[in-house]
Structure 1
């Protein structure tokens, strides 16, 4: 027996859940398939700006009302490894919030009034008579890949994932602090710590969310990633920033930065959104806001007639929103890496640069207005 839908979404994370909810309110019959059961243990540093909550039509007080973690962020501690950090104060209103992905993703997916098949891996994809057939059982004229870096829909389109892609490899852990660890942890919840690698190929972070602590490191050069992370953790412990006893098991994941991504964004009756499309911000690696915004852009493209031009509308809107992508030629003089490293070491020690460039521009995107929530003009 084959079940028919208007849209099948592979992946129930923030991108997939946002698109599912938007299209359901437009009257589409939507199926979300995800290989994981929810709530799931999703590896992610996990913070969202107020702009993300605006685009999702989520009030902070409503989200936190039932005990979900929502850590207000008022400050950032930013530096280069081996140097002193600069602490940027942002005032009394939160400029970002720390969330736990196991809670956040489930919240978004639960509120989407669509059919969900969880714990269901995609085994087969087939294009048949103008429709997509998934696992031989579900058919739809439109298929959207929202399954992260290793999304099977992205694999079907070609050019990803694979060794030819310059992906960020990250390792991190998130755990509940016991009483002794809380007493020994100097990191404050309202002030995440970001430490950039001296070769500029990545950064490490320590982020406290109430009684939870997230520690990780991501680099575009994944050689000796575990050693880089171990050295960072040891240095933080030596300085008294972290407790001496930490979990030994770190989880790994990968994602593409938008400025380096070249995999296709669309095809015949198919779109990629979120990390499946390689949309993480180039400077910060943040993927949640691009995931949500790409879902909203996809929803607008799919909702307009004629349907045949939806893929083109989506690509045009995405590039207009996020700028020059990795598959577009870059022109002009490029600064040598050695000069970049010398300049970075100096700039990262200045409060002005770490506040106005690293924090405001790279991580908070303060000058970029939020996309309106679906159905809100």
Structure 2
């Protein structure tokens, strides 16, 4: 049996950020993931300058051999309507490929890593947690996304009415012919909201790589909406006509409507495992990184790993992201005041799509970054 102070299940941005932040704390850390790295990860894939600053990423260094696509504009519309395009006049975000980004973050971690190893068992043994009858620690951290096995220990909360977003997308490298005919521009991601406002689709070009997808609340007619969107984009010439046939699916919880507990005795959840994706956009990378930093500060100072001690992390999450909604109203992306006949008009407004949709909901420019990881 191998003994550690903290075992992190999940080596994505949340898990790797937590492990790196705890370096130098004196804690013995182990990070486990079911996949080997680099690995494919279904995600549209963009990060704001705030995330890069918080992670202490040198852009010049990162861009060597990796995709770092500057984003200066957004093309936003409601399906069936003409879109509007806003130029922010500066770089407001960066397109990344998750296979590169996640591997880069994990490579910075000095703690032992066990990859390509699924968690098959988690048992409580004398105040410790034992994983796969091989590793043991008093604290386990769930960082393995929506279906994280550590999150399953805590359940979905008292109500069981969480809003789950299901998405399907594809990312592939275009052939020279596809790249030449594709009208989507790398510096201008496209966001297209469903007419019933229960989801949105995107077209995002990163150099010669193209990412296309659609996410909707509760998997409601997801494939039907995706097929219609893809066909409309093909018909308009925005994307190549010969796309890969296989779209990959994934799911996540939205922060305002998630009921999943964050802590228990010897257990703590971060990132998508905790249901922290931004409610209006579904973006999860920044919440994953920030939750990991908040968790690391609590873990490093904790006298023990009881639920009462770890609750300081839950308090920090509430302070950072706000108190979760208690009425569990239906709907995920847009507030109720938008869900009126004026929604179509708002989506044709340059001011609304820039100041509200892009800068507030997707870029969170009004929220200052956390202090950089060390």
TM-score class normalised by the smaller sequence: over 0.9
Aligned-pair CA distance for 1:337: 6.3
- Structure 2 unmatched runs, 5+: none
Identify which of 272, 278, 281 aligns with 2:275. 278
Q: Distance in 2 between matches of 1:256 and 1:337?
A: 19
Task: Find the counterpart in structure 1 of residue 364 from structure 2.
Answer: 365
SS at match of 1:195: strand
The answer to whether the 8 A contact 1:69-1:210 is kept is: yes
Q: Distance in 1 between matches of 2:310 and 2:39?
A: 31
Aligned-pair CA distance for 1:102: 0.4
Matched, 1:103 2:100: yes
Q: Distance in 2 between matches of 1:195 and 1:6?
A: 46
Structure 1-normalised TM-score?
A: 0.94
Task: Find the counterpart in structure 1 of residue 32 from structure 2.
Answer: 33
Q: Residues 343-362 of structure 1: matches in 2 within 5 Å? A: 343-362=342-361
Task: Find the counterpart in structure 2 of residue 303 from structure 1.
Answer: 300
Matched, 1:252 2:263: no
Identify which of 205, 215, 236 aligns with 1:208. 205
Identify which of 65, 70, 73 aligns with 1:72. 70
- Structure 1 unmatched runs, 5+: none
Identify which of 85, 95, 114 aligns with 1:87. 85
Aligned-pair CA distance for 1:336: 10
Task: Find the counterpart in structure 2 of residue 127 from structure 1.
Answer: 124
SS at match of 2:57: coil
Aligned-pair CA distance for 1:223: 2.7
Aligned-pair CA distance for 1:342: 1.3
The answer to whether the 8 A contact 2:128-2:136 is kept is: yes
Task: Find the counterpart in structure 1 of residue 13 from structure 2.
Answer: 14
Cα separation, partners in 2 of 1:152 and 1:45, compared to 1, 3 Å: same
Q: Distance in 2 between matches of 1:339 and 1:103?
A: 37
Q: Residues 142-291 of structure 1: matches in 2 within 5 Å? A: 142-159=139-156, 164-291=161-288
Q: Distance in 2 between matches of 1:341 and 1:103?
A: 41
Aligned-pair CA distance for 1:330: 7.5
CA-to-aligned-CA distance 1:79-104 (integer Å, 9 cap, x gap): 1111111111111x311000000000
The answer to whether the 8 A contact 1:171-1:250 is kept is: yes
The answer to whether the 8 A contact 2:161-2:328 is kept is: no
Q: Distance in 2 between matches of 1:71 and 1:357?
A: 23
Aligned-pair CA distance for 1:166: 2.0
Matched, 1:137 2:138: no
CA-to-aligned-CA distance 1:133-192 (integer Å, 9 cap, x gap): 1111111111100000000011111127x9853210000000001011011100000000
Q: Distance in 2 between matches of 1:315 and 1:123?
A: 27
Q: Distance in 2 between matches of 1:341 and 1:24?
A: 50
SS at match of 1:144: strand
The answer to whether the 8 A contact 1:302-1:310 is kept is: no
Aligned-pair CA distance for 1:306: 2.6
The answer to whether the 8 A contact 2:11-2:31 is kept is: yes
Q: Distance in 1 between matches of 2:15 and 2:21?
A: 10
